[in-house]
Amino acid sequence: MNRKHYFKMADYLGTFKYHLEQHLKENSNHTDWQEKQDISNEFINLKDNITTLLKEENREFHFGKFNNEIDRVMLKREKEYKEEQQKEYDDEMSDTSLDNLENVSEELSELLKI
């Protein structure tokens, strides 16, 4: 594996971690604390197993940098999601404002006819 592959692997794991945490947040009413802990522990075990394999293949592999990259990707995905949500909200609000403006305009036209 080359450096590019390590970054891809970190990207995949970071994206997976983001979606996993989102799922746990969205289903917090249906998932008990122990189940959440078990799922989090399984992700940690998966990541540890992958990093162990990577270390066996490359003695110079650095766990800390790899883990930091995974966390960076996860935060990046979270930021992208929030920006997307904000854009959708802004679009919805501007559409609603435009509809309201059209309604007010129609009402004023009716009043002026009287």
Give dist(CA 49, CA 46) in Å, integer. 5
pLDDT at residue 15 in the model:
92
- The tens place of each residue's pLDDT in the chain, 114 residues long, gives 778 888 899 999 999 999 998 888 888 777 788 888 898 899 999 999 999 998 898 888 888 999 999 999 999 999 999 999 888 888 777 766 666 767 777 777 777 775
Q: Say how many CA atoms lie within 13 Å of 77 toward its Cβ.
A: 19
pLDDT at residue 78 in the model:
92
pLDDT at residue 80 in the model:
93
Cα angle 8, 11, 15; round to 5: 145
pLDDT at residue 97 in the model:
67
- The answer to whether the beta carbons of residues 14 and 77 sit under 8 Å apart is yes
pLDDT at residue 114 in the model:
55
Q: Does this model's pTM top 0.85?
A: no
